[in-house]
């Protein structure tokens, strides 16, 4: 099954002038198109910078005939097996956007320095998705082609006076903009983290938010890394929030101003300024009323693309189908949860009430307006562009099946921690998996402790009174077998903690434990465990005299729920890790 393109979530493009040029490249009569044909393409050809000249001949034919243009021809290709810096221009939109790098080209036979006259496919794709997501470019899902829309034509021909009005109207058709305006409409000064944690389907990867108190702790305690922390320590939803606010600042709907925060973490107080923080303006409030139908102007229909309804999970198309069906079923009438469940079942989707509640919350968090009366739900927005693909073999993946098993049991635990299941199976998400696990243990469950990470440190530690736990997180799609070097690493941490001598490790990470912590265990946390992990746990015990355990993320969430309910005490939590075994946990109900 071919996955649908993910439209509706934008992390990087922000230059609206460049967006205007990108949209204009789909109009045969625009100045940008004439510039492409008469100046840019000849420049690329003459300097041997085109990947395939036939692509450009086809582009001209598409424009002249009024046909839609294939998405692949607009986006272009990546660098393949070569180096990105050596990749030639292979997409129409690549040729519209200058890169930052300065290169030398020949113009009229003379060497001339200029910005590289084309971008990469990733940048081109970002601008394309931006244009599609706010309605300036029409996307045909059936044949994967694009053409300029009527609002796109208005945008590329807008006068200076019209520019912001046309752009603002397009933004109001984009649900996440409406969600950001809603969150800011109470008048609070909110950081990207405070916005991000309430944006999107927060119980799955693709919509994670960096815990603000952990960010403040890292920023305060690692001044040498502050540039990295400012630029890189954010979740996907934090990036979306930051990008949307930058758009809205340009048209005067949002102000950006540093917010001074004081956060509590690991028993300490951390104060710092967060520059990416936002307030709504009077103009923003007026337009938020327009988005909700509370102004004299008609509410603007919302553009919702199938690919917008999930981004990263391996079974994202199944999740998109489920959520699209819920949208369509709740568009005209009020529906209770049992009716929605039966409707999904009639389409072959067997889902729990808890899952449906989670999806309804997520649909609200992406910016759709729902009315709820007597536990019945009705979508009050007019939806456009939502097309369910025909003939696809939608199937539920292992990640969703795990969530199905445990979601009904999680009555007290914040549902956002279900995203840990996705993260635990993503080998590229190790850092985020570590941070979100420590967020669960410290912020949700109130253990003392913190994320450590980095060179010659455990991933994290937690404690409660006299008990301490040294944690090693590992995200693996095919399970974790605890290789030899990880055994040695854990042994080293346990020995360092026992000896506590600066000469064996100058960073003295063990000082993060409170002085009264006297009993220690260790834990490996992963998606699931494979191989001969029990003999390896016993080896660690034999070399250090300390017991530990492995626990998969499903069982950790069940343990967390038991702690929240009061069915498990904190001392008994640590006893679970005193077994040299795989922890398997069952709730009382």
The two three-digit tokens of residue 49, written as one number: 């910078």
- pLDDT tier at 12, thresholds 50, 70, 90: confident
Assign residue 342 the CATH number of its domain: 1.10.10.10
pLDDT of 186 higher than 80: yes
Q: Flag whether pLDDT at 491 surpasses 70.
A: yes
Does a structural domain hold residue 410? Answer: no
Do 367 and 201 contact (CB within 8 A), yes or no?
no
Single out the residue in 157, 183, 216 at which a domain terminates: 157
Domain end call among 379, 396, 413? 396
Interatomic CA distance for residues 92 and 107, integer angstroms: 21
Write out the DSSP string of 77-99: ---TTS-GGGPPB-SHHHHHS--
Q: Poorest-confidence range of 77-81, 103-107, 481-485? A: 77-81
Tell me the H-state helices in 266-336.
Answer: 282-291, 316-329
| pLDDT tens, position by position, 351-410 | 999 999 999 999 999 999 999 999 999 999 999 999 988 766 689 988 999 999 999 999
The pair of structure tokens assigned to 374 is: 């007597």
Is the torsion defined by CA of 437, 440, 443, 445 positive or negative? negative
Pick the catalytic residue from 259, 302, 316, 474: 474
The torsion defined by the Cα of 149, 183, 424 and 402, in degrees rounded to 10, comes to -90
Would 505 be classed as within a structural domain?
yes
Q: Say how far apart CA 438 and CA 444 lie, in whole Å.
A: 9
What number of CA atoms fall less than 13 Å from residue 176's CA on the CB side? 29
The secondary element (H helix, E strand) that includes residue 448 is strand 448-451
**CA-CA distance, 413 to 295, in Å (whole number)?**
39
| Contact present, 368 and 304 (Cβ < 8 Å) | yes
Q: Which of 267, 291, 315 is the last residue of a domain?
A: 291
Instruction: Kindly compute the dihedral angle of the four CA atoms of residues 530, 532, 534, 540, in this order, to the nearest 10 degrees.
Output: -110
| Segment 487-515 mean pLDDT | 95
What integer best gives the mean pLDDT of the chain? 93
**So what's the pLDDT on residue 460?**
96
Told to judge if 143 belongs to the known catalytic residues of this protein, a careful annotator would answer no
- Catalytic residue (choose from 459, 488, 508, 572): 459
Burial grade of 227 (CB within 10 A; 0-12, 13-18, 19 or more): exposed
Model pLDDT, residue 393? 63
Do 273 and 203 share a structural domain? yes
d(Cα 325, Cα 379) in Å, to the nearest integer? 12
pLDDT at 474: 94
86 pLDDT exceeds 90?
A: no
Q: Are residues 458 and 548 in the same domain?
A: yes
Residue 180: other Cβ atoms inside 10 A: 31
Catalytic residue among 121, 315, 422, 472: 472
User: Side by side, which strands form the sheet with 254-256?
Assistant: 190-191, 277-280, 254-256
Judgement on whether residues 263 and 385 belong to the same structural domain of the protein: no
The percentage of residues in the chain with a pLDDT greater than 70, rounded to a whole number, is 98
Distance CA 354, CA 497 (A): 43
Name the β-bridge partners of 463: 448, 468
Question: Is 485 in contact with 511 (CB distance < 8 Å)?
Answer: no
Region 415-431: what's the mean pLDDT?
93
Is residue 75 situated within a structural domain? yes
Is residue 389 domain-resident? yes
Helix (H, G, I), strand (E, B) or coil at 381: coil
One domain for residues 337 and 446: no
Query: Is residue 365 located within the same domain as residue 464?
Result: no
552 belongs to a structural domain: yes
Residue 4 lies in a domain: no
Rg (CA), the chain: 27
* Confidence (pLDDT) at 131: 97
More confident residue, 429 or 85: 429
Kind and range of the H or E run holding 303: strand 302-303
Same domain, 175 and 220: yes
Query: In this predicted structure, what is the pLDDT of residue 221?
Result: 87
Domain count, the chain: 4
Share of the chain above pLDDT 90, in %: 80
Q: Do 569 and 446 fall into the same domain?
A: yes
| Co-location of 434 and 554 in the same domain | yes
Is the residue at 407 inside a domain?
no
Average pLDDT on 569-579 reads: 96
Question: Rounded to whole angstroms, what are the CA distances from 550 to 306, 438, 472, 564, 583?
Answer: 39, 16, 10, 21, 6
CATH number at residue 493: 3.40.91.30
- pLDDT number for residue 391: 64
pLDDT tens digits, one per residue of 124-159 = 999 999 999 999 999 998 889 999 999 999 999 999
Tokens of 413: 């635990």
Residue 459 falls in the annotated catalytic set: yes
d(CA 522, CA 377): 46
Kindly report the number of other CB atoms within 10 A of residue 131's CB atom: 30
CA distances for 193 relative to 148, 209, 366, 420, 430, angstroms: 35, 6, 16, 18, 20
> Within 10 A of 576 (CB to CB), how many other CB atoms are there?
19
Structure tokens at 52: 């395939």
Q: What is the CATH number of the domain that holds 24?
A: 3.90.241.10
Residue 80: the pLDDT is 65
Mutual orientation of helices 337-346 and 353-365 as an angle, nearest 10°?
Answer: 100
Structural domain includes residue 416: no
Contact 25, 96 (CB under 8 A): yes
Please count the other Cβ atoms lying within 10 Å of the Cβ belonging to residue 388: 16
Q: What digits encode the pLDDT tens for the residues 535-566?
A: 999 999 999 999 999 999 999 999 999 999 99
Are 280 and 327 found together in one domain? no
Q: Ramachandran region of residue 210, left (φ > 0), alpha (ψ -120 to 50) or beta?
A: beta
The per-residue pLDDT for range 254-287, each reduced to its tens digit, is: 999 999 999 999 888 999 999 999 999 999 999 9
Range of the domain at 325: 302-396
User: For the segment 155-181, what is each residue's pLDDT rounded down to a tens digit?
Assistant: 999 999 999 999 999 999 999 999 999
Catalytic site includes residue 472 = yes
* Confidence grade of residue 1 (pLDDT, cut at 50, 70, 90): very low
Q: Using CA atoms in the order 143, 144, 147, 149, what is the torsion angle rounded to 10 degrees? A: 100
**Residues 425, 477 contacting (CB under 8 angstroms):** yes
Q: Which residues of 40-56 are buried (b: 16+ CB within 10 A; e: fewer)?
A: bbebbeebebbbeeebb
Pairing of β 69-70 and β 145-148: antiparallel
320 token code pair:
């998109």
Mark whether 274 and 342 lie in a shared domain.
Answer: no
If asked whether residues 340 and 379 sit together in one domain, one would say: yes
Residue 572: Cβ within 10 Å count? 12
Looking at the fold, whether 208 and 112 belong to one and the same domain comes out as no
Sheet strands side by side (includes 145-148): 69-70, 145-148, 137-140
């Amino acid at each position: 099954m071919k996955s649908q393109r993910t439209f509706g979530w934008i992390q990087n493009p922000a230059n609206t002038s460049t967006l205007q040029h990108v949209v204009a490249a789909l109009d045969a009569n625009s100045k940008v198109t004439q510039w492409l044909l008469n100046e840019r393409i000849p420049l690329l050809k003459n300097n041997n910078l085109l990947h395939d000249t036939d692509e450009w001949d086809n582009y001209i034919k598409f424009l002249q005939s009024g046909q839609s243009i294939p998405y692949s021809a607009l986006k272009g290709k990546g660098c393949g097996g070569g180096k990105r810096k050596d990749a030639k221009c292979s997409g129409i939109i690549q040729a519209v956007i200058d890169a930052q790098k300065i290169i030398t080209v020949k113009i009229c036979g003379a060497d001339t320095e200029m910005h590289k006259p084309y971008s990469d496919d990733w940048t081109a794709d970002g601008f394309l998705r931006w244009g599609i997501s706010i309605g300036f470019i029409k996307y045909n899902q059936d044949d994967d082609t694009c053409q300029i829309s009527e609002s796109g034509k208005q945008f590329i021909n807008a006068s200076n006076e019209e520019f912001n009005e046309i752009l603002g109207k397009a933004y109001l058709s984009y649900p996440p903009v409406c969600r950001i305006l809603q969150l800011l409409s109470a008048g609070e000064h909110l950081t990207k983290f405070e916005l991000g944690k309430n944006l999107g389907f927060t119980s799955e990867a693709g919509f994670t938010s960096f815990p603000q108190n952990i960010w403040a702790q890292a920023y305060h305690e690692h001044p040498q890394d502050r540039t990295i922390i400012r630029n890189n320590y954010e979740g996907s939803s934090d990036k979306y929030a930051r990008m949307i606010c930058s758009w809205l600042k340009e048209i005067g709907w949002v102000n950006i101003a540093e917010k001074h925060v004081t956060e509590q973490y690991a028993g300490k107080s951390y104060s710092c300024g967060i520059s990416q923080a936002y307030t709504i303006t009077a103009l923003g409030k007026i337009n938020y009323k327009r988005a909700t139908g509370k102004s004299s102007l008609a509410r603007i229909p919302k553009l919702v693309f199938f690919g917008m309804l999930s981004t990263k999970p391996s079974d994202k198309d199944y999740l998109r189908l489920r959520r699209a069906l819920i949208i369509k079923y709740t568009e005209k009438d009020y529906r209770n949860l049992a009716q929605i469940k039966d409707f999904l079942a009639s389409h072959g989707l067997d889902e729990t009430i808890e899952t449906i509640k989670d999806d309804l919350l997520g649909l609200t968090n992406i910016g759709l307006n729902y009315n709820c009366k007597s536990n019945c739900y009705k979508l009050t927005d007019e939806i456009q562009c939502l097309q369910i693909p025909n003939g696809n073999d939608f199937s539920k993946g292992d990640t969703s099946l795990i969530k199905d098993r445990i979601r009904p049991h999680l009555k007290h635990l914040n549902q956002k921690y279900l995203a840990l299941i996705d993260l635990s199976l993503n080998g590229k998400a190790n850092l985020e998996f570590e941070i979100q696990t420590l967020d669960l243990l410290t912020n949700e469950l109130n253990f003392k402790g913190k994320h450590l990470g980095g060179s010659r440190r455990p991933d994290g530690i937690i404690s409660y009174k006299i008990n301490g736990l040294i944690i090693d997180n590992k995200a693996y799609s095919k399970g974790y077998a605890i290789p030899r070097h990880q055994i040695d690493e854990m042994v080293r941490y346990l020995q360092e903690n026992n000896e506590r001598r600066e000469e064996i490790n100058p960073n003295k990470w063990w000082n993060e434990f409170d002085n009264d912590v006297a009993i220690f265990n260790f834990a490996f946390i992963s998606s699931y465990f494979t191989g001969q992990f029990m003999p390896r746990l016993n080896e660690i015990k034999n070399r250090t005299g300390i017991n530990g355990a492995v626990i998969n993320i499903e069982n950790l969430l069940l343990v967390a729920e038991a702690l929240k309910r009061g069915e498990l005490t904190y001392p008994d939590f640590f006893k679970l890790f005193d077994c040299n075994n795989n922890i398997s946990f069952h709730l009382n109900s």
